[in-house]
Amino acid sequence: MPEMSREKVAAVEGSALGQIHDIDIDDVLDYVHKDLKRLPGYIELYQRYLRQRWDVYEIDFAQDARDWTDRMTQDEREAFTAISSGFHHGERQVEVELPVFMLGGSEESRIYMSSQIEDEARHTVFFDRFYREVVGLPGDSVQDVLDASFQHVSETFVGPFGLLAYQADELRADPEDLAARVRYGTTYFLWIEGVLALSVMKITLSYCRNAGLLPGYYTGFTATCRDEARHVQFGMRFLREAVQEDPRLLREIHETLRTILVINGATSRRLALEALGWTQDEVRRLMIRQLTMKLVDVGIDLPPDVQQMISNIEPELAGG
């Protein structure tokens, strides 16, 4: 990947919410990977969070609501809700599953993790507002709106998030168990955030940008993607340090990836991506690229059987 120019890095890093609309999602995705070889420390990521956090109540969804009813087709609306419902529920789930991960690890990693929990809670509010104000789902409480969008959630959500719920339970028994932390981290930071979430971001945000639609969603979700850059960088640093501390933990990463990829292959329903301008093959390539780029950058090697499984990835979209 060519180096990002200094101007682009400064634009992604320093933009306030009001300027984020001018940023291209590809630049934010490059930004996720820009630091992976060096990997910033936990306190540096926490400082970045303090500068980059945004106010989710500043987003204006008025134009989005008009675009939704007047300018989008039924197929586009359905594809969009099918993809974003996995995010709506994913954000809420990671917000409640992260505290158990925060309990283990160094003081620095706990301080950083408090910021990620706040990010995920804010992302939950972002989707709550989007579903209420744009999609028009009913409900008095956050849970009501989640319940109303659940019918759109596809089975591709249930697989990885079910696995994560299981791994969070396992961690609850002993939050300092490093092998359990690595399994949880592989599912959450590497797969859900690093592959699924970034792929959804690329697909929905390029659709909005190319069609000139949903400016509130574009702003908030691009800011969310910038938050994900910190989450993924934290996660990759955590996995790399764990393997450096105990090289046998590499086996935990491989085993977890095998489980994830077997679940991925069991998909029976295809996502309707075409309405948003994507083919199944393009999404497969996007996911493979998101996964392999991260592993290569942090120096995590894969055995041939896992590589083979990766080349057969089925398009799957959710996030957190």
Q: Which of 168, 238, 200, 215 is nearest to 320 (CA)?
A: 200
- CB nearer to Fe ion: pick between 220 and 320: 320
DSSP SS3 for 294: helix
Q: Please tell me the count of residues contacting Fe ion according to CB under 5 A.
A: 6
The answer to whether residues 206 and 222 touch, using CB atoms and an 8 Å cutoff, is no
Specify the residue, 197 or 275, whose C-beta has the smaller distance to Fe ion: 197
Binding mask 186-225 for Fe ion (x = CB under 5 A): -------x--------------------------------
| In the complex, least distance from residue 272 CB atom to Fe ion, rounded to whole angstroms | 24
Answer yes or no whether residue 226 interacts with Fe ion by CB under 5 A: no
If one asks whether residue 88 binds Fe ion (CB under 5 A), the answer comes out as no
* DSSP per-residue letters across 155-213: HHHHHHHHHHHHHHHHHHH-TT-HHHHHHHHIIIIIIIIIIIIHHHHHHHHHHHHHHT-
Give whole-number Cα distances, 140 to 26, 55, 276, in Å: 36, 22, 31
Q: Which are the contacts of 198, defined by CB distance < 8 A and separation ≥ 6?
A: 29, 32, 225, 228, 232, 290, 319
Q: Which residue, 120 or 252, has its beta carbon nearer to Fe ion?
A: 120
> Which residue do the tokens 């634009």 mark?
11
How is residue 108 annotated by DSSP? H
Candidates 33, 123, 183, 209; binder of Fe ion (CB under 5 A) is 123
Q: Is 231 in the site for Fe ion (CB under 5 A)?
A: yes
- Residue 67 binding Fe ion, by CB under 5 A: no
Q: Which is nearer to Fe ion, 123 or 183 (CB)?
A: 123
Stretch that binds Fe ion, among 96-104, 228-236, 238-246, 271-279 (CB under 5 A): 228-236
Reduced to 3 states (helix: H, G, I; strand: E, B; else coil), residue 40 is coil
The 152-191 site mask, x for binding Fe ion (CB under 5 A), equals ----------------------------------------
Which chain residues interact with Fe ion by CB under 5 A? 91, 120, 123, 193, 231, 320
